[in-house]
Chain A
Amino acid sequence: AQSVTQPDIHITVSEGASLELRCNYSYGATPYLFWYVQSPGQGLQLLLKYFSGDTLVQGIKGFEAEFKRSQSSFNLRKPSVHWSDAAEYFCAVGALRNEKLTFGTGTRLTIIP
């Protein structure tokens, strides 16, 4: 069975500082990996996806993620955070590109001035 672990429940970062959100997955075959962001009371917005190819993927809003098969990880990074990045971030894995997604429990990001 596939699963996703996001070990950090809550992270606080100063505005302008760099960010890394951790994601570890468990899946027996080649995974399809996603990061979504959710603002309070809102739906999920796709930040980026990994299907195949280059293991460093670029997304919207200046985010990037690196797929490391040996570590079963797909960590999300941003070089300089903005106050508007404060939100809940979810990592998800799917067996196929549009099959059911299994989500982690999320990481809440707080930005301080």
Chain B
Amino acid sequence: ETGVTQSPTHLIKTRGQQVTLRCSSQSGHNTVSWYQQALGQGPQFIFQYYREEENGRGNFPPRFSGLQFPNYSSELNVNALELDDSALYLCASSLPANEQYFGPGTRLTVT
């Protein structure tokens, strides 16, 4: 059974650019959640997708958007990057009414 995978591992972008991060959920998991973890902090919930629909959103601006595909993989898109967007972005997948399993994360650096 393959766990949650994320790509790319690391990414460097310039302020104002756009970025797309990808996540493949664990086999059979139909729910994907995205979190942002700034250095020295706990993860902060961005949003969750269930069966291709957004199913909850945290306190993040609209320039953070996402998609979930029929195979339950997911993308996180961030437009107009700001320096404060530099963080580790974590994806987690789960089954309904079950715990979340996290991927290794994508380290985004905005310069």
Q: List A residues at the B interface (Cβ < 8 Å).
A: 4, 34, 36, 41-46, 49, 90, 92, 96-106
Interface residue B2 (Cβ < 8 Å from any Cβ of A)? no
Please state if B104 and A101 are interface contacts (CB–CB under 8 Å).
no
Q: List B residues at the A interface (Cβ < 8 Å).
A: 4, 6, 31, 33, 35, 40-45, 48, 56, 58, 90, 92, 94-105, 107
Residues of B within 8 A of A92 (CB): 42
Please state if A44 and B90 are interface contacts (CB–CB under 8 Å).
yes
Take A49-B99, A98-B31, A101-B100 as given contacts and tell me if A44 and B48 are in contact as well, using a CB distance cutoff of 8 Å: no
Please state if B41 and A105 are interface contacts (CB–CB under 8 Å).
yes
Residues of A within 8 A of B99 (CB): 34, 46, 49, 97-98
Please state if B90 and A100 are interface contacts (CB–CB under 8 Å).
no
Please state if A99 and B42 are interface contacts (CB–CB under 8 Å).
no
Please state if B102 and A45 are interface contacts (CB–CB under 8 Å).
yes
